[in-house]
Amino acid sequence: MSRIIQIQNDFTAGAIDPKLRARTDITQYKSGLTTARNVSIQPQGGAKRRDGTKYITELDNAVSVGSVRMVPFEFSVSDSYMIVFTSAASSPGLVSGIMYIFKNRQQITGISGTVNGSIYTSTDAPSIPNLTEDIVAEMNWVQSADSLILVHEDLEPILIQRGLNDQKWNIENIQFSHIPKYAFDFDTHEPNYTVTPSATSGNITLTASSATTDTGAAQAGTANTITLKAATSYTTDDEPNGMFITITSGTGSGQVRHVEDYVASTKILTVYPTWDTAPDATSNYKVQPFGTATVDEYIVAKNGFGRARVTEFVTDTSVKALVEVPFFDTTAITAGNFETEHGYEDAWSSSRGWPRSATFHEGRLFFGGSKQRPSTIWGSRVSDFFNFDVGEALDDASVEATLDTGTFNAIVDVYSGRHLQVFTTGGEFYVPQSLDTPITPSSLIVKQQTAFGIKSGVRVQNVDGSTIFVQRQGKSLQEFIYSDTVQAYTSVKISLLSSHLIKTPTDMAVRKSTSTDDGDRLLIINGDDGSIACYTLLRSQNVIAPSEWTTDGEFKAVAVDVDDIYVVTQRTKSGQDYYYVEVFDADTLLDCATTGTSGTTISVPQLQNKTVKIIRDGVLEPDQTVPTPPSAVEITFATPATTSYQIGLNFTPEVKTLPVEPNLPSGSLKGFKKRIFEINADLFETQSLTIDGKLVPFRSFGTEVLDGAVQEYTGIKTLNGVLGYSYDGQITIGQDVPLKMNLLGIDYKVSIGQ
């Protein structure tokens, strides 16, 4: 039998996947844990009891809360907000969303403003039409100055603007000055007329001549046809194809459509797209070479010399156009030697779907993907965010690119970092730029870097220059980072050693480090069990320290307002589920807590029918069960509070070491029984601790008042006389009461037996 001393100076590897129990050879084993629950790993190496949460408000349960999403909104240095969106069916058949606004950890009430021009007044939570459960769960957003833009492929983009003060908020659908076009139903025709360009390049005028036009009163019409007058000028099939027909008066007046087909024997002319209002025998029409609907169509010379996009309708026989491929000369192009391309319509609409992701990058608003064009990105004109006109393709014009890679790549998120980054279901892309070269229509290219794919509904996050995303199947956490060495992006699994903590993620947020006691905290909501996977990240020291946070209920959403971590929790109250908005607080030791300074009787309606912990003036009072209505939903202290109090739900921190493996020169000790007979815990400002279920004393008889607050202890606490042999030799450290705990490290003496 031999005895050794084992030391674990830090816990900076956090909770390690159980599948790595045999990997005693890796560096992380020496600083890893089997369990790190309800603790935060500090960059210095310690494991500290996680912050508790303060209760703010209950989301409106007069309606059925579906999905929930939290969106931070930073208006200025002194004005930042947390906006909570929920989907709710307020009555059968009427679906709308609800918007709650919080500032400085309090809900803003009495909000007023407009929704698409309609005035609303004095509401605590304005309604937003059409925010269904599926939309809220996967919506995307971006902010600029006083404006927040919400997008989803099934939602017409929404603009939310803060007004003159905290209580003024306007909500409207974005009014685009120009939406990009796309030929969803692409078709070509060879019109029966001659077209003459005024110049070979640049902005030109195209003039039509030798065309057979026709006017008169229709005989009849259907959803996509019109029967021309009996004595029509068109006597052969397809003669007016490629021209335009305008309803000049009568039923359907003002409509302009492309002539798709004509049958001379029946005088039936087919149009594209279908009529808004079908014409009939009262309708008068006019057929001519050009119409207002010709804008954004193309006229293409068949010899390969000449392609122009129509930019403006002038007259029935004249349009303005922008040349994309120069014409050979200005000679008239006769019928049969050119064709028109049509079928172009708005790339985004109620019928074609809307953009599904958004970001601002170098003075442009970029949209990524839409319902029917899932692999395309669009960039607005510079400093004209709602104008996507390509114009003359100058450097400040709108840009567009489609990810054609041979595999399906539906864009899920776009992010403005060192480069414009594009995340899809099939891979990760970026737009190459040198440091002093902006994105322009002529320079826009998109390159694929890795092929992991991203999970829809979980926004990417930036941590110290790297972009973090959840892999498509929701089973790993990836870091997308640029390497100056290879001049490309790489993607690394940062959850490789802690994959057991990633359980169907639904939301993710980052709280940036605010002091030397903090690293960056990456917080991931797990959909399977409502836990939070919390990663402490400190890239400069290669610290990736995961832990698991649980609560009495489930965490449903998370977001960060500057340095405040907000969560939405689902908790059970009197047998029913309720949704609460809460905020993590460094001075709070309980969850869903009500806190204050002094008082005797405190109302805690969020905790009715719950057994709660009470900390009054730093002293733990006996547990109480909160009454339910009609009784007063309140707690009365055994002794009135004079300086502070907390009433809330307890959570238990737990730190469990990995199986002891000292890796002696003689070989592994895995097959030997071990007994840990002395444990020394190095503590910092700690008030309570248990080691292997045994309470470590923090008080002693003497001058200390026994019914006063436990004094914080910094130093080493020793537990002797630990009995029992095992093959693992693990230590479990935790608490049975909600007081401060900060474990810096441990050393222990191990007895090895055959």
What digits encode the pLDDT tens for the residues 284-303?
999 999 999 898 899 999 98
The pTM of this model reads: 0.90
Q: Among 519-528, 573-582, 721-730, whose mean pLDDT is lowest?
A: 721-730
- pLDDT over 60 (residue 346): yes
Give mean pLDDT, residues 564-569.
96
pLDDT at 145: 85
Contact of 536 with 14, CB cutoff 8 Å: yes
Query: In the structure, how many helices (H) and strands (E) does the chain have?
Result: 1, 63
Domain match, 694 and 621 both: no
Q: List pLDDT tens digits, range 306-341.
A: 999 998 999 999 999 999 899 999 999 999 999 999
Domain match, 616 and 735 both: no
pLDDT at 677: 86
Token pair for 103: 């500032």
Out of 346, 379, 401, pick the residue that ends a domain.
346
Domain match, 603 and 740 both: no
> Which residue, 646, 651, 551, is CA-closest to 594?
646
Average pLDDT, the chain: 91
Domain match, 644 and 661 both: no
Kindly report the CA angle at 421 between 446 and 484, in degrees rounded to 5?
Answer: 90
- pLDDT over 80 (residue 2): no
678 domain-assigned: yes
> Which residue, 409, 531, 393, is CA-closest to 472?
409
Cα–Cα distance between 493 and 498 in angstroms, integer?
10
pLDDT at 600: 95
Q: List pLDDT tens digits, range 516-539.
A: 777 889 999 999 999 999 999 987
- pLDDT over 80 (residue 146): yes
What confidence tier does 620 reach under pLDDT thresholds 50, 70, 90? very high
Domain match, 636 and 662 both: no
Q: Among 7-16, 533-542, 551-560, whose mean pLDDT is lowest?
A: 533-542
- pLDDT over 80 (residue 707): no
pLDDT at 67: 86
pLDDT at 702: 56
Q: List pLDDT tens digits, range 356-379.
A: 999 999 999 999 999 999 999 999
Domain match, 633 and 708 both: no
Out of 346, 373, 398, pick the residue that ends a domain.
346
Cα–Cα distance between 507 and 548 in angstroms, integer?
15
Whether the bond into 630 is cis, omega within 30 of 0: yes
Domain of residue 311: give its range: 181-346
What confidence tier does 726 reach under pLDDT thresholds 50, 70, 90? confident
Q: List pLDDT tens digits, range 465-491.
A: 899 999 999 999 999 999 888 889 999
Domain match, 203 and 337 both: yes
Query: 472-485 burial, b for 16+ CB within 10 Å, e for fewer?
Result: bebebbbbbbbeee
Q: Which residue's structure tokens are 């903590």?
A: 501
pLDDT at 705: 56
Domain match, 188 and 218 both: yes
pLDDT at 91: 44
Out of 322, 346, 370, pick the residue that ends a domain.
346
Give mean pLDDT, residues 131-145.
91
Cα–Cα distance between 76 and 148 in angstroms, integer?
13
What confidence tier does 668 reach under pLDDT thresholds 50, 70, 90? low
314 domain-assigned: yes
Give mean pLDDT, residues 612-620.
95
Domain match, 714 and 613 both: no
Q: Are strands 694-695 and 690-691 parallel, antiparallel or unpaired?
A: antiparallel
Give the count of domains, the chain.
Answer: 3
Task: Measure Cα distances from 222 to 251, 280, 342 in Å.
Answer: 12, 8, 22
- pLDDT over 80 (residue 87): yes
77 or 320, which is more confident: 320
- pLDDT over 70 (residue 37): yes
407 or 141, which is more confident: 141
706 domain-assigned: yes
